[in-house]
Structure formats: structure tokens, C-alpha cells
Amino acid sequence: MASLVAENFRFLSLFFKSKDVMIFNGLVALGTVGSEELFSVVAFNCPCSPARNYIYGLAAIGVPALALFLIGVIWNNHTWNLVAECHKRGTKNFSAAATFLLFGSIMGRAAVAPVTWSVISLLRGEAYICALSEFVKPSSLDKFPAEYGAEVLARFPCKDVPANLTKFRDEVTRRLRYESQLFGWLLIGIVAVLVFFTKCLKHCCSPLSYRQEAYWAQYRSNEDKLFRHTAEVHSRILAAKNVKQFFGFVALDKEEKELVQEFPVEDVQPSPQWNAITGVYIYRENKGFPLYSRLHKWAKGVEENGPTPECHEMLFLTS
């Protein structure tokens, strides 16, 4: 049982270890807060009509949260690495547990913005009050006039009520705002507890030392930056070469001419090489030496034939 738990949670170490991830999540949360405030001020307008309030109130909370979630999934590199992995190699190189936890990582990253949106919406309370005002039982209000029903209660969020119902409107608004904010604080507490226990499991189940995790994070960051910059330069030089072949000359500025002269590019890399360095990466050790990425693995010439006695595989997914 302990080994299964360790297998299922090892990958979480790097997810929470990366400072870039935490900073990114913080920026996403702040951006979501600002967007929710703008939406509440500019766009939110309760219809104050029976049967419409409920749909509109839930849509104001749920639809933006869904859109933010889908955007988060699209922006996550894990999503497209997983698509490439399934397309090129299937899931033969990692277990069902690793696949499930990879989906969990994608969902967790994508949930930052929608959870923030939902929390802020609940703490503000306008959407919740709009959605549920018509469902307040008149019998729960002391001395509420019997001639009024759900139609009048639905108008409470808009303050468009008879003068003799003002105190009831204030009571209903206060009660629903209390419930909304309570749910918001509970959601914050649940998320905080989940993050806390996940980080505890990470520290207990990580197969790597703190310093090696830090080194791996630095390596991934540096490799990604160097790869992107080198790919940009390589593609520019190759494009210049092809344009020159077509026109007989190519218009380059001084810096680009220096790049073309300094780095001769003959051709592009073949597709098998691109496929080898693309996809989900599972941490491996080859004869005791770590392989920190697919590019590192390709450079060392390790084959894609799965784990062998010389290649110890650990279900520890890179972020």
C-alpha cells in the first residue's frame, strides 16, 4: 500500500517545488480577481424575474469558471505533451496511475482560475443572492404578508419592492449573503487543506533529495530557455538560407548577418528526432545516472524500449 501511495504521488513534488509554477498560479489568481470585479461592475445585472434569476445567477458563476478552466487546460504544456505521447507512443511507457495523475496535474493547474472566480463570486454574494432569492420560504420570514410570493422575492436583488417589504428584503439579502460567503470561505478552506496534504505527501514520497529536485528544476528551466532561443535562431538562419536561394539574396540586418555567418545551418532535424524529444517525460535513471528530460535521454542515446535492469524508471512526471 505504501509503495502504491508513493508511486501515485511522486510526480507532485516538482509541481509544487517549482517557484515558477507558484508565481504563475498567483498571477492567474490575481488576474481572475480583477476580471471578476470588472464583470460584477460592468456586466452583472440580475433579471429579477422568477425562473430566470436562478439560471442567470448560476451562469454568472459557472460559465466564466468553465471558460477559465478550458483556457487553463489549453495553456498547460502537459496537455499537448500528453496528446503527443498518446499519438506517437501510446501510454506504454508509463502506468495507468501515472496517466491518471498526469490528468490530475492538468486539472489542478487549470482549476486555479475557476476556483478563484468562484470564491470571489461567492464572497461578493450578488450572483448567489440573485439565484436563490426566489427560493426563500415566506414562512421563514416573520410576519411576511401572505399575498406576496416567489414573484416578489425574485425582485429583492433589484430593490424593486413595495415599501412595506423593505425590511424583509434586507433580511433575505443578509441571509443569502451569509450563506454565499460561508460557502466561499469553506471552498478556500477545502482548497488550502488539499494543498497542504498534497505538499506533505510530496515530501514523504519524493524519491529525490531536496537539492536534486532543485537542480532538476533549474535544468528544465535552462534547457527550455536555451532550446526555445536556439530554435528561434536556427529557424531564422534556415529561413534566410531558403529565401536567399529563391531570390538570390536575403535582406538581413547586422545582427542577423552575424548569426548566419557564425552558425551555419545545413538542414532541419529529421522527424524521428523531434518525436524522440516530444511528449510526456517520466524520470529515469540509467545505470545510476539521472536523465532529466527527453532531450537529455536522447542525447545519451537511451532507447525507448521501456525500463530495463540498467534503467530504473520512477513515476515522477516533470512539470
Q: What is the pLDDT of residues 151-172, one digit of tens each?
A: 888 888 887 777 777 788 888 8
pTM equals 0.68
How many Cα atoms are found within 13 Å in the side-chain-facing hemisphere of 89? 19
From residue 270, how far is each of 212, 221, 228, 234, 260 by CA, in Å?
Answer: 33, 25, 18, 14, 21
Q: Do 113 and 72 meet the contact criterion of CB atoms below 8 Å apart?
A: yes
**Residues, the chain:** 319
Q: What was the pLDDT predicted at 303?
A: 65
Amino acid identity for residue 52 in this structure: R
Tens-digit pLDDT string for the chain (319 aa): 344 334 334 433 444 444 455 555 555 556 665 665 555 545 678 888 888 899 999 998 899 899 989 998 998 877 887 777 777 666 565 666 667 777 777 888 888 888 988 988 899 888 999 999 888 887 777 777 777 777 888 888 887 777 777 788 888 889 999 999 999 999 999 999 988 887 787 767 677 787 888 898 899 999 999 999 999 999 999 999 999 999 999 999 988 888 888 888 888 889 889 888 887 777 778 888 888 888 999 998 876 544 443 333 444 444 4
From residue 278, how far is each of 4, 33, 82, 83, 281 by CA, in Å?
Answer: 28, 35, 9, 10, 8
**How many C-beta atoms surround the C-beta of residue 34 within 10 A?**
11
Q: What was the pLDDT predicted at 308?
A: 42
Convert the pLDDT of each residue in 140-152 to its tens digit. Answer: 777 777 777 778 8
